[in-house]
Structure 1
């Protein structure tokens, strides 16, 4: 398997399929290490990669890619790589009604915001009784 370092977004989809791919994170960086693996996995890895960064080919040695993390604008926790957010933004920017500011929120804070926005009309309606 070959990895196109310019296309890889650091999303970890490949690591969910192959135990020969390991991920480590600290508050600012996600590192993904690709170890030599059984080539029979390559087709599944190619299908799983949303950025098209994986292609067939042999890579004899391990190598690591590092990615800068994005922090949630509400809670401050790192939740995705910068490249991952850029990839998503490019694909959903045309969606009608999507608020790009949601890309600055971690999944937990997005859920909290959505719960609050859905709860507010209920609270207002109940208060009118």
Structure 2
């Protein structure tokens, strides 16, 4: 059995691992403005999708006894609707990379996915 080794200091709470884990060994729960990610001590599956999906390299596999790990993150609110939607760590990781590609800060900075879609649709309606 493989041990799931998670470097908690590298995890940004982005949902990549829990979203791609087909057997749902990695669980993510958002309650209010808190996100909790629970990692099992080991994984019997013969895949490495969570390891490959992790943008920060926080996940590795090892041998031997492992320990389950639970991480908690504060969710930041959408600047338009107030709904909690992303961790501070996730935004701090993503925004510089997106800004570099776009040549400046994205206009959707601070918006939840729903408000981003609404803003994009509004701009399209005005442009058409």
Deviations 1:43-98 (A, max 9, x none): 22211111111112255222200011011000000111111111111211212355
Structure of higher CA gyration radius:
1
Q: Which protein has the bigger strand share?
A: 2
User: Is the contact made by 1:72 and 1:104 (CA closer than 8 Å) also made in structure 2?
Assistant: yes
Q: Name which of 11, 14, 38 aligns with 2:14.
A: 11
In the alignment of these two chains, the number of paired residues is: 122
SS in 2 for 1:120: helix
- Within 1, Cα distance between the matches of 2:46 and 2:77? 32
1:86 aligns with 2:92: yes
User: Is the contact made by 2:8 and 2:71 (CA closer than 8 Å) also made in structure 1?
Assistant: yes
Deviations 1:73-124 (A, max 9, x none): 00000111111111111211212355434120001101111111111133xx
The TM-score with structure 2 as length reference comes to: 0.83
Structure 1 stretches lacking a partner, 5+ long: 123-129
1:56 aligns with 2:35: no
Q: Which has the higher mean CA deviation after the structures are superposed, 101-110 or 71-80?
A: 101-110
Q: CA RMSD in A?
A: 1.9
SS in 1 for 2:109: helix
